[in-house]
Amino acid sequence: MPMSDAFKQRLFKALPEIAEHYGTPFHIYDEAGIRETGEHLKQVFSGIDGFREYFAVKALPNKQILKLMKEMNFGYDCSSIPELIMSRELGADTEDIMFTSNNTSPEEFAFAEQDGGCILNLDDISLIDKVPNFPELICFRYNPGPRRTGNIIIGNPVEAKYGITHEQVVDAYRKAKERGATRFGLHTMVASNELDYTYMVETARMVLSLAELVKAELDIEFEFVNIGGGFGIPYNPDQAPLDIDTMAKEVTELFDAFKTKNGFVPRMYMESGRFMTGPHGCLVTRAINHKDTYRNYIGVDSCMSALMRPALYEAYHHIDVVGKDNAPKEMTYDVVGSLCENNDKFAVQRELPKIDEGDLLVIHDSGAHGHAMGFQYNGRLRPQELLLRCDGSVELIRRAETVDDYFATQNYTPDSFTPGA
């Protein structure tokens, strides 16, 4: 089931009023749902000492949302300078930030070490010499290559640009030691939107066995292993949710067994984005046009600039028509935006109740990789973001983009020169 019934109940009765007050379109996020998922995560992994979620900032990079994460004592997973700036502005300390960049630039390394630094997660062995001041705590991103079959979305690890190979692992930590590192972590991310909990258990098993290997070779006791993000959510009502409870139980057993065998045990970190916020957000948009040609089209007042996933991955996002929950799904529509690309469709040949102009459509599961992925192509601007608070109030947490925002990068002091002159 995509959006929870509780969120639906909280939201739908207030939606006409919210739409009236703020205008459409908007993404709206559910504070109560986000907190519930966060607390549940902490609870199921409470058997692992020092368990911590580092929220993947790129999934929903809004300061008010990041504040909720901090209140739950989560850290931040960043991979760009703006994400670092945002995290630090919210008061994140050194070890509250994992900096998991790839193809990292000198500017990014310089920025990462400012303001107390962060946990540097290196994507390649060649980057060791490019870190200006080597920190005492260092982490590497591991790519198992042919040792792991790919999850469907992230693809085959052999084809993934991320991380160091199995053969490079020992060398990487040896070199890091030579540069002065004394504390170590290990990171991997091999899945995206994975709904099979056993895949995540295998990932935990994989990093723990690598921790044993490095301990044997270099006498390094990892402080933490980070199993990455990629925890899936059911976008389609037919899909079963990820069984996080059973996953946590089996992963905890692996950590217990590791401790018994090795006399020490790393903490476990994860960096979920989608699982934390995906189902707790939706895009609310109004039907403004209806056209019948070779197909029946419903035109809405937002487009793929607000939610790229259907156009980008042909991803399914469930749609409700407010007030028509129990109406028969007697129509088959393409639900479209107004961008001049034919993949600008929120739904293709979807069975829905008969939609009238003015109806509010709720497009589910926009709480992660939704607004953040948007663009301005075709002069289509990104919508506002709202937060439904636990007390029922609604807060504007990002205004809609304006035409002035669109032109901002073309307002500058004129500069031209003639090469060779």
> Which residues belong to the active site?
340
Within residues 359-388, the interface with ligand PLP by CB under 6 A covers 368
* Near ligand PLP by CB under 6 A: residue from 22, 26, 74, 231: 231
Site string for ligand PLP, 325-344 (x = CB under 6 A): --------------------
346 token code pair: 């929120």
Rounded least distance, CB 54 to ligand PLP, Å: 8
Fill in the amino acid letter for 180: G
Q: Does 160 bind ligand PLP (CB under 6 A)?
A: no
Under the binding rule (CB under 6 A), the answer on residue 189 touching ligand PLP is yes
Give me the residue label for tokens 């909990």.
Answer: 197
- Please state the closest distance from residue 79 (CB atom) to ligand PLP, in A: 6
Q: Which stretch binds ligand PLP (CB under 6 A): 10-18, 244-252, 270-278, 330-338?
A: 270-278
For ligand PLP, the closer of residues 18 and 186 by Cβ is 186
Q: Minimum distance between the CB of residue 58 and ligand PLP, rounded to whole angstroms? A: 5
CB 27 within 8 A of CB 270: no
Q: How far apart are CA 190 and CA 364, in angstroms?
A: 26
In this structure, the number of other CB atoms found within 10 A of the CB of residue 130 comes to: 12
| Strand, coil or helix: 58 | helix
CB of 295 to ligand PLP, least distance (A): 32
Q: Which residue has the tokens 């998991």?
A: 100
Q: Strands (DSSP E) along 157-199, which ranges?
A: 183-188
Among 192, 285, 305, 384, binds ligand PLP (CB under 6 A): 192
How far is the C-alpha of 20 from the C-alpha of 23, rounded, in Å?
Answer: 5
Least Å distance, CB 163 to ligand PLP, is 10
Question: Measured between alpha carbons, how far is 70 from 410 in angstroms, rounded to an integer?
Answer: 36
The torsion region of residue 199 among left (phi > 0), alpha (psi -120 to 50) and beta comes to alpha
Residue type, 318: H
Residue number, 18 or 66, with CB nearest to ligand PLP:
66
Nearest residue (CB) to ligand PLP, 210 versus 368 = 368
Member of 135, 228, 310, 353 binding ligand PLP (CB under 6 A): 228
Please identify, using beta-carbon distances, which residue of 122 and 360 lies nearer to ligand PLP: 122
CA angle 248, 252, 255 (to 5 degrees): 145
Q: Which stretch binds ligand PLP (CB under 6 A): 207-215, 229-237, 307-315, 384-392?
A: 229-237
DSSP string, 283-328: EEEEEEEEEESSSEEEEES--TTT--HHHHH-----EEETT-TTS-
Q: Quick check: 53 binds ligand PLP (CB under 6 A)?
A: no
Helix/strand/coil (H, E, C) string of 197-262?
HHHHHHHHHHHHHHHHHHHHHHCCCCCEEECCCCECCCCCCCCCCCCHHHHHHHHHHHHHHHHHHH
Site string for ligand PLP, 96-125 (x = CB under 6 A): ----x-------------------------
Nearer to ligand PLP, 193 or 305 (CB): 193
- What phi and psi, each to the nearest 5 degrees, are found at residue 67? -65, -40
Tell me if 273 contacts ligand PLP by CB under 6 A: yes
Distance in Å, CB of 72 to ligand PLP, minimum? 16
In the complex, the smallest distance separating the C-beta of residue 369 from ligand PLP, rounded to whole angstroms, is 6
Residue 26 binds ligand PLP (CB under 6 A): no
Whole-number Å distance between alpha carbons of 232 and 191: 9
Taking the complex as a whole, the smallest distance from the CB of residue 139 to ligand PLP amounts, in Å, to 11
102: nearest Cα among 116, 88, 86, 120: 120
Please, which residue, 273 or 374, has the CB nearer to ligand PLP?
A: 273
Q: Is 56 in the site for ligand PLP (CB under 6 A)?
A: yes
Whichever of 122 and 381 has its CB closer to ligand PLP, that residue is 122
Residue bearing tokens 């060398």 = 171
**Residues near 262 by Cβ (< 8 Å), separated by ≥ 6?**
212, 215
Question: Residue 42 or 215: which CB sits closer to ligand PLP?
Answer: 42
Where does this chain touch ligand PLP (CB under 6 A) — which range of 163-171, 185-193, 255-263, 296-304?
185-193
Question: Is 307 an interacting residue with respect to ligand PLP (CB under 6 A)?
Answer: no
Where on the chain is the footprint of ligand PLP (CB under 6 A)?
56, 58-59, 77, 100, 189, 192-193, 228-231, 271-275, 368
